[in-house]
């Protein structure tokens, strides 16, 4: 009897240990699941909070653009330039619960509009080989320090972009259409429509990754029906691409700096005054076609906004269109930033050229 009772007590102990082990495993599993659920909820909350701040930055940008519009109504000749409030890069704004927010606006009409290249020169005797926009793009491609492109290489790229945009499938002498793209792996068709993203350049014949990186901060696809290039906000490289229509050579780097310095010191009263700069001495009579590409006002802006909340960073890019006293967000792209991407202070987020993949 004593032996039987000992065996029963031993079995009961083993069962109790098994139950305890099972309960422990369940508690650990529940704790892990709770932690995952809690972390997931916290991430969602922080993401929503960051998105709310970024949309707030968009609202602030809207207010700045509207204030600038109201201010311009008092001008005899309204214009948008780099001295206005919207063009300034503010200091990071500290958030009450910790972290910071930073945002800035850049003029998309201060960049070369790729969709201008869809236009072709009408086939006629004595007609120029390139449109004014094509000639400007050829010059822009030759302004790169790296990679350095020859005039012929720039023509190949320009013709390829034009073929990508135009409605037909007949390649230009130096261009590329479906017959070229079908031979790639994987094969695809040319778009034959206006670009909706600068990143489409990566699919165009003769555009290497190095060329794309050099071009990205200098070009835009907004508005999709091209508007004049703003001479008051264009970068020195884009200013160098302005020259007599029959001259496919860009202005020198020194001439580009002269134009930028003249703009900063005395400004340009008008497009005509800009073309009367000493840089264009002797060429004024050949600038008629180029003059039609230039303007002084802007309706399309790029907002770059960045926020850090609880050591998590997010960025928003918005294309904003201003028409009268109304500002509309035409496109947005946003996402989280990891530690491998530039930190605030390492690089001004306003100079980071985004790939707007819409």
Task: Render each residue's pLDDT in the chain as its tens digit; 358 residues.
Answer: 555 556 666 677 777 778 777 887 777 777 776 667 656 766 778 788 889 999 999 999 999 999 999 999 988 889 999 999 999 988 898 998 789 999 999 999 999 999 999 998 876 655 688 999 999 999 999 999 999 999 999 999 999 999 999 999 999 989 999 999 999 999 999 999 999 999 999 999 999 999 999 999 999 999 999 999 999 999 999 999 999 988 999 999 999 999 999 999 888 999 999 999 999 998 988 899 899 999 999 999 999 999 999 888 999 999 999 999 999 999 999 887 764 454 443 334 554 444 444 4
DSSP state of 75: S
- Among 193, 191, 171, 192, smallest CA distance to 180 is for 171
Cβ atoms of 332 and 316 within 8 Å: the answer is yes
Tally Cβ neighbours within 10 Å of residue 34.
10
The rounded Cα 27 to chain-centroid distance in angstroms is 50
Q: What is the crossing angle of helices 151-165 and 132-141, to 10°? A: 130
Q: What is the DSSP letter of 111?
A: S
Confidence (pLDDT) at 122: 75
pLDDT of residue 348: 45
- For 147, the 3-state DSSP assignment is coil
| Rounded distance between C-alpha atoms, residue 241 and residue 105, angstroms | 23
Whole-number pLDDT of residue 335: 81
* Residue 125 pLDDT: 54
Fold designation for 113-294: Ribonucleotide Reductase Protein R1; domain 1 (1.10.40)
Contacts of 210 (CB under 8 A, 6+ apart): 146, 147
List where CATH 1.10.40.60 sits in the chain.
113-294
Contact 79/232 with Cβ under 8 angstroms?
Answer: yes
Could you tell me if 228 and 109 are in contact, meaning their C-beta atoms sit under 8 angstroms apart? yes
pLDDT of residue 84: 94
* From-to residues of CATH 3.30.1300.30 in the chain: 43-109+299-351
CATH code that applies to domain 43-109+299-351 = 3.30.1300.30
As a whole number of angstroms, the distance between CA 205 and CA 160 comes to 6
Task: Mark residue 282 as left, alpha or beta (left: phi above 0; alpha: psi -120 to 50; beta: remaining).
Answer: left
CB burial class (10 A; 0-12, 13-18, 19+) of residue 352?
Answer: middle
Beta sheet of 93-94, edge-to-edge order = 93-94, 100-107, 300-309, 312-323, 326-337
- Extract the tokens encoding 7: 């065996």
Which H or E run contains 220?
strand 219-220
Among 147, 153, 171, 225, CA closest to 193: 225
Q: Report pLDDT for 38.
A: 54
The phi and psi torsions of 289 (rounded to 5 degrees) equal: -65, -35
Question: How many CA atoms are closer than 13 Å to the CA of 167, on its beta-carbon side?
Answer: 1
**Whether the Cβ atoms of residue 251 and residue 230 lie closer than 8 Å to each other:** no
């Amino acid at each position: 009897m004593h032996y039987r009772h000992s065996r029963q007590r031993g079995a009961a102990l083993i069962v109790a240990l098994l139950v305890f082990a099972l309960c422990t495993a369940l508690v650990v599993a529940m704790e892990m699941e709770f932690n995952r659920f809690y972390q997931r909820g916290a991430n969602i909350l922080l993401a929503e909070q960051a998105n709310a701040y970024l949309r707030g930055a968009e609202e602030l940008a809207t207010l700045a653009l509207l204030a600038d519009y109201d201010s311009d109504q008092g001008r005899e000749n309204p214009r948008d330039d780099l001295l206005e409030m919207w063009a300034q890069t503010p200091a990071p704004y500290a958030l009450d619960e910790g972290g910071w927010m930073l945002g800035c606006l850049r003029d998309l009409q201060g960049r070369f509009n790729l969709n201008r290249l869809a236009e072709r020169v009408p086939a006629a005797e004595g007609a120029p080989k390139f449109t004014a926009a094509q000639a400007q793009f050829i010059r822009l491609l030759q302004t790169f320090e790296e990679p350095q492109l020859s005039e012929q290489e720039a023509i190949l790229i320009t013709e390829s972009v034009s073929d990508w945009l135009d409605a037909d499938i007949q390649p230009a002498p130096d261009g590329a259409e479906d017959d070229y793209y079908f031979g790639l792996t994987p094969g695809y068709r040319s778009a034959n429509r206006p670009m909706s993203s600068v990143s489409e350049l990566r699919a165009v014949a003769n555009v290497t990754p190095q060329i794309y990186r050099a071009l990205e901060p200098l070009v835009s696809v907004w508005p999709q029906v091209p508007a004049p290039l703003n001479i008051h906000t264009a970068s020195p490289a884009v200013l160098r691409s302005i020259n007599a229509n029959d001259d496919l050579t860009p202005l020198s780097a020194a001439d580009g700096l002269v134009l930028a310095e003249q703009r900063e010191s005395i400004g340009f009263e008008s497009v005509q005054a800009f073309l009367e700069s000493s840089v264009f001495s002797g060429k004024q009579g050949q600038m008629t076609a180029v003059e039609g590409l230039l303007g002084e006002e802007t309706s399309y802006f790029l907002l770059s906004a960045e926020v850090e909340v609880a050591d998590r960073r997010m960025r928003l890019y918005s294309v904003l269109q201003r028409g009268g006293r109304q500002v509309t967000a035409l496109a947005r792209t946003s996402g989280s930033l990891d530690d491998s991407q530039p930190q605030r202070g390492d690089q001004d987020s306003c100079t980071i050229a985004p790939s707007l993949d819409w």
